Amino acid sequence: MSQADVSPTAATVADESVESLDERALVEACLAGRSDAFDLIVERHRRSVYQLCFRFVGNHEDASDLSQDVFLRAYRGLRSFRGQASLATWLYRIGVNVCLNRVSVKVPAQVSIDEREHEDTRAESPTQRLLRDERAVRVRAAIAQLPRKQRITLILRMYQEMSHQEIADVLGSSVGAVKANFFHALGNLKKLLATE
Amino acid sequence: MHLTPEQFIDLVEGASAESATGHLETCERCRAQLVELQEMRAVSTTGGDVPEPSPLFWNQLSARVHEAIAAEGAPRVAWWRPSTWPWLALPVGAGAMVALVLAFVLTSRGLEPVPAPDPAPIAASAPDPGVEDASLSLVADLAAQMDWDSASEIGAPLHAGAADEAIGDLSPAERRELQRLLQELARPGA
Three-state secondary structure along chain A?
CCHHHHCCCCCCCCCCCHHHCCHHHHHHHHHCCCHHHHHHHHHHHHHHHHHHHHHHHCCHHHHHHHHHHHHHHHHHCHHHCCCCCCHHHHHHHHHHHHHHHHHHHCCCCCCCHHHCCCCCCCCCCHHHHHHHHHHHHHHHHHHHCCCHHHHHHHHHHHHCCCCHHHHHHHHCCCHHHHHHHHHHHHHHHHHHHHCC
Q: How does residue A67 score in pLDDT terms, banded at 50, 70 and 90? A: very high
pLDDT at B85: 52
Cα nearest neighbour of B64 on chain A? A68
pLDDT at B162: 61
More confident residue, A69 or B181: A69
Cβ pair A42:B70 closer than 8 A: no
* Nearest CB partner across the interface for A183, out of B8, B39, B45: B8
pLDDT at B134: 59
Statement: residue B98 has pLDDT above 90 = no
Statement: residue B140 has pLDDT above 60 = no
Cβ pair A190:B40 closer than 8 A: yes
What whole-number distance in Å separates Cα of residue A158 and Cα of residue A65?
A: 23
pLDDT at A115: 47
pLDDT at B125: 45
Please enumerate in sequence order all residues whose Cβ is within 8 A of that of B78, keeping only pairs 6 or more positions apart, or say none.
A77, A79, A80, B84
> What one-character DSSP code corresponds to residue B82?
G
pLDDT at A23: 86
Cβ pair B75:A72 closer than 8 A: no
Give the range among A25-39, A80-94, B82-96 with minimum mean pLDDT.
B82-96
Measured between its terminal Cα atoms, the distance across chain B in Å is 47
pLDDT over 90 percentage in chain A: 40
* Nearest CB partner across the interface for B75, out of A76, A179, A190: A76
Statement: residue A25 has pLDDT above 60 = yes
- Give B62→chain A minimum CA distance, Å: 6
Statement: residue B123 has pLDDT above 50 = no
Mean pLDDT to the nearest integer, A91-113: 71
- Give A111→chain B minimum CA distance, Å: 10
Cβ pair B62:A43 closer than 8 A: yes
List CB contacts (< 8 A) between A67 and chain B. 61
Burial class, B87, CB count within 10 angstroms (exposed 0-12 / middle 13-18 / buried 19+): exposed
- Give A75→chain B minimum CA distance, Å: 6
Mean pLDDT to the nearest integer, B101-114: 66
pLDDT at B185: 75
* Nearest CB partner across the interface for B50, out of A51, A142, A187: A51
Cβ pair A118:B51 closer than 8 A: yes
Mutate to test the interface with A, among B2, B39, B67, B69 (most CBs of A within 10 A): B69
Q: How does residue A103 score in pLDDT terms, banded at 50, 70 and 90? A: low
List CB contacts (< 8 A) between A158 and chain B. 41, 44-45, 48
- Give A130→chain B minimum CA distance, Å: 13
Q: Is the ipTM of this complex over 0.85?
A: no
Tell whether the torsion through CA atoms of A158, A160, A165 and A171 is positive or negative.
Answer: negative
A74-90 pLDDT per residue, tens: 999 998 888 888 899 89
Whole-model pTM?
Answer: 0.57
What whole-number distance in Å separates Cα of residue A191 and Cα of residue A14?
A: 56
Average pLDDT, chain B: 72
Cα nearest neighbour of A51 on chain B? B50
Mean pLDDT to the nearest integer, A40-46: 94
- Give B140→chain A minimum CA distance, Å: 27
Statement: residue B29 has pLDDT above 80 = yes
Counting Cα atoms < 13 Å in the Cβ hemisphere of A36 gives 9
**According to DSSP H, which parts of chain B are helical?**
5-12, 18-26, 28-44, 55-72, 86-108, 134-144, 148-153, 162-169, 172-186
Assess contact for A37 and A21: CB atoms under 8 A.
yes
Cβ pair B47:A176 closer than 8 A: no
**Nearest Cα residue to B163 out of B151, B147, B148:** B151
What whole-number distance in Å separates Cα of residue A122 and Cα of residue A118?
A: 11
pLDDT over 90 percentage in chain B: 23
pLDDT at B116: 53
Q: How does residue B160 score in pLDDT terms, banded at 50, 70 and 90? A: low
Statement: residue A32 has pLDDT above 50 = yes
pLDDT at A127: 82
> What one-character DSSP code corresponds to residue B122?
T
Cα nearest neighbour of B53 on chain A? A118
Q: How does residue B179 score in pLDDT terms, banded at 50, 70 and 90? A: confident
